[in-house]
Amino acid sequence: MDFKKQFKEGLLTKNPVLVQLLGMCSTLAITTSLFNGLGMGIAVTIILICSNVLISALRKVIPSQIRIAAYIVIIAGFVTIVDLLLQAYIPALSESLGVFIPLIVVNCIILGRAEAFASKNGVLASAVDGLCQGIGYTTALVIVCVIRELLGSGTFGGGLLNGGEGIRIIPEGYPAMQIVMPVGGFLVLGCVIAGSQFLMKKLETRKMDKEAAK
């Protein structure tokens, strides 16, 4: 198990949103405030870790012919637990995210990590993979949320700060409301993806220059 490599993959080189382009529906739909992004990211991270651990522990027991169905049942169980906990303890977040919490069951990020990693690796490595992928997913959501909320609503920390209204950065009347609409989500996400690709190219070039200098 290489924690540094797994963390780098989750955050940059194999980021589920910015590189693998998974979970696009929820990413574009709920990234209108920091509250939504953090809530969705943490929920997915918890489900990723729990489902990865259980699938890894049962990988030698589950018949290969029904593995996808078994994975979905396991994921659905953890999604139901998280959904009920949100309804009980953070009803505002549950109401804000709406149907996108139950839809985590069919989120390609969860199922993809179960098939690509948890079913082939040990419990500890699978738990770390779930954590790293979850951090990468949450980071991508938070970046998109902050940009869309700031430019579209003129606030920061909506749902979390200043009694839930967020801290106003741009005076009312100046923000571009289109940014919090679907078309704005596509534009912001495209710019964030382009920025992440540029950063990875720079890091790769710097690494090659160091190796060449040796």
Averaged confidence pLDDT in the chain: 90
Q: What is the pLDDT of residue 5?
A: 86
Q: What is the pTM of this model?
A: 0.90
CB of 184 within 8 A of CB of 176? Answer: yes
Kindly state the helix (H) or strand (E) to which residue 130 belongs, with its residue range: helix 123-153
pLDDT number for residue 162? 77
Give the whole-angstrom CA distance, residue 172 versus residue 6.
Answer: 43
Q: Is it the case that residue 182 has pLDDT exceeding 90? A: no
Total domain count, the chain: 1
Q: How far apart are CA 40 and CA 148, in angstroms?
A: 16
One DSSP character per residue, 63-92 reads -GGGHHHHHHHHHHHHHHHHHHHHHHH-HH
Q: pLDDT tens digit string along 130-178?
A: 999 999 999 999 999 999 999 998 998 888 887 778 888 988 878 888 8
Domain span holding position 169 = 3-213
pLDDT of amino acid 213 = 76
Predicted confidence (pLDDT) per residue in 29-84, tens digit: 899 899 999 999 999 999 999 999 999 999 999 998 999 999 999 999 999 999 99
The beta strand positions in the chain, using DSSP E, are 155-156, 167-168
